Amino acid sequence: MNNYSENLPIKSSKRLQIIDITDKINRFINNSDVTNGIAIIFSKHSTSSIIINENEKGLLNDFEKILTKIVPDKNSYEHDIIDNNADSHLRSMILGSSETIPIKNNKLDLGTWQSVFFIEFDGPRNRNIELIAIGT
């Protein structure tokens, strides 16, 4: 059983930004000795998320709209007294901070239209994503 990990730096340029990281994860897996196993993608930040979905511009725009509708930017949140980013934390809580994905033939075994995204809720920032590949 092989186990590889790497820190993936991500730089966001907007407060709410959806960034496709699929190719970067596949490069990491390709550089590891894991042909079949699992990949764990984990954001080390409580105001960001990791998700899987389709990389289609209209859908991603719709996703941003629905996130801001479900959790409005300014809504008299108690946490805003501390650092004015409660909406970012709440959006992250809803979506989660990690994904576990099968690895087959030395790459992510995603569905035809699936991509892996890092979602920034409190940017622009420099972030770190932990990538782990486990398998044979």
Domain around 107 = 2-73+82-135
pLDDT at position 12 is 98
**Pair of tokens at residue 64:** 């941003």
CATH number (domain holding residue 29)? 2.60.120.460
Helix (H, G, I), strand (E, B) or coil at 45: coil
pLDDT at position 74 is 86
pLDDT at position 40 is 98
Rounded-to-integer distance, Cα 64 and Cα 118, Å: 13
Percent of the chain with pLDDT over 90: 99
pLDDT, tens digit, 9 for 90 and up, residues 25-83:
999 999 999 999 999 999 999 999 999 999 999 999 999 999 999 999 989 999 999 99
What is the DSSP secondary-structure string of 45-60?
A: -TTEEEEEEE--HHHH
Domain total of the chain:
1
> Model pTM?
0.95
Phi, psi of 21 (to 5 degrees): -115, 15
Does 136 have pLDDT greater than 90? yes
pLDDT, tens digit, 9 for 90 and up, residues 72-130:
998 999 999 999 999 999 999 999 999 999 999 999 999 999 999 999 999 999 999 99
pLDDT at position 38 is 98
